[in-house]
Amino acid sequence: MKPLLRSLLVQAAWLVGLFSLLYGLAALGKHADVRSSGTVKLRAALFINGTLGDKSFFDAAASGMRQARDTLPVTVRVVEGGTDPTRWQAALTDLADSGDYDLIVAGTFTMVPYVQALAEQYPDARFVVFDAAVDYAKCRCQNVHSILFRQNEGAYLAGYLAARLDQAGLPGVPPHSGLGVVGGMQFPVIDDFIVGFRAGAQAAVPGETVLTQYANSFSDPAAGKEIAKAQFGRGVGLVFHAAGATGQGVNEAAREARRYAIGVDMDQYAMYRTSHPQLASRIVTSVLKNVDVAVVRAIGQALKGELTYGRSQSLGLAENGVGLARQSDVLAQASPELLRSLDDVQAAVARGEQRVPSAFTPAPTTP
């Protein structure tokens, strides 16, 4: 090898080594600054037993994690477990076993058995379950906090509003056309939506017709669309869906049939107002299950050492755990009297003066 070439290679190797050393020192210094300044005080992971993009439940939970990251001294990670249930246990176990997270968040009743098992296997880990509760009487789950929602209260408002609009006649739809509901699957949380919606509708208009059908899936928009098309074909003017991503098919069916839909979990009118105004114009409102609010609240309480492990909490209208979206093209044309009446009903429910039946408890009796 010629002396000049050898010299150039030696210099190049020396420079590569120097840059590697400087990069390593910079990264170490940055890591040390974060630790010493205490800017990151909690590490949280959200496990989704599904995928993002449902414009509903899972997207709301992920939004809560982002809000926590942006407003609190925490780092967050969102893990999509996919739609294959056989992969969920291993993925959730990996999060607990890694020791990388101070708080592991998971939702829906299907995750309860996995969290119960892991809570006992990893007693030093901390878990939050939302939209479900572990069975504290049957598991050693003193490291688990459960969050339940009174979704029947939000659905009650939607049913009341829907029946009043149906009574008067929605734009382009004859009065008294009737209402419909598409549920994702038949289990208590979804039934709670339906029970609340039907009760609100019949409180507003006694005898109001409410057709109901389950899609048996939370990730099948085509099934939701077919069910909604069948209900619209029977004359129904408005369909409420509590079906996750399946409900996006209901929205599409409402657009095609020039009928109306009520969304769930997130404000679906707001989602489509700019990107798809024709679709948005057919969404009257959405029953909000404020999963994002609950996630941020739980992480904030964990930071302060105030999160109550070993027990569950219930969030309804009074706690801003659920609600009803109030911006849409249809509501902009609604009468002031109807909106005042809706406000009165919401206030009565929030104060506990108006009891709302639930799928989790026997129907209230009339004094």
pLDDT digits (tens, 9 = 90+) for 279-311: 999 999 999 999 999 999 999 999 999 999 999
pLDDT digits (tens, 9 = 90+) for 45-69: 999 999 998 877 899 999 999 999 9
The per-residue pLDDT for 15 is 42
Confidence band of 18 (pLDDT split at 50, 70, 90)? very low
Instruction: Give kind and range of the element (H or E) at residue 262.
Output: strand 260-265
Confidence band of 364 (pLDDT split at 50, 70, 90)? very low
CATH class of residue range 151-289+328-350: alpha beta
Query: Which residues face 2 on adjacent strands?
Result: none
Sequence spans of domains, the chain: 42-149, 151-289+328-350
Q: Given a cut of 90, is residue 31 above it in pLDDT? A: no
The per-residue pLDDT for 55 is 79
Kindly report the average pLDDT of the chain as a whole number.
Answer: 89
49-58, 81-90, 156-165: range with lowest mean pLDDT: 49-58
Confidence band of 129 (pLDDT split at 50, 70, 90)? very high
Q: What are phi and psi of 136, to 5 degrees?
A: -65, -25
Contacting residues for 265 by C-beta, under 8 A, at least 6 apart: 56, 57, 59, 60, 244, 286, 287, 288, 289, 291
12-21, 25-34, 145-154: range with lowest mean pLDDT: 25-34
- State the Cα–Cα distance between residues 135 and 127, nearest whole angstrom: 14
- State the Cα–Cα distance between residues 16 and 150, nearest whole angstrom: 60
Neighbours of 44 (CB within 10 A): 25
Mean pLDDT of 234-250: 97
Instruction: Give kind and range of the element (H or E) at residue 312.
Output: strand 311-315
The reply to whether 151-289+328-350 shares the fold of 42-149 is yes
- State the Cα–Cα distance between residues 328 and 342, nearest whole angstrom: 15
- State the Cα–Cα distance between residues 253 and 166, nearest whole angstrom: 18
Mean pLDDT of 147-156: 97
Confidence band of 362 (pLDDT split at 50, 70, 90)? low
Options 1.50.10.100, 3.40.50.150, 3.40.630.30, 3.40.50.2300; CATH for 42-149 is 3.40.50.2300
Q: What do you get for the CA distance between the two ends of the chain, in Å?
A: 102
Confidence band of 225 (pLDDT split at 50, 70, 90)? very high
pLDDT digits (tens, 9 = 90+) for 313-324: 999 999 999 999
- State the Cα–Cα distance between residues 49 and 61, nearest whole angstrom: 12
Task: Work out the burial of residue 19: count CB atoms within 10 Å of its CB; fewer than 13 is exposed, 13-18 middle, 19 or more buried.
Answer: exposed
- State the Cα–Cα distance between residues 197 and 52, nearest whole angstrom: 27
| Cβ pair 293, 154 in contact under 8 A | no
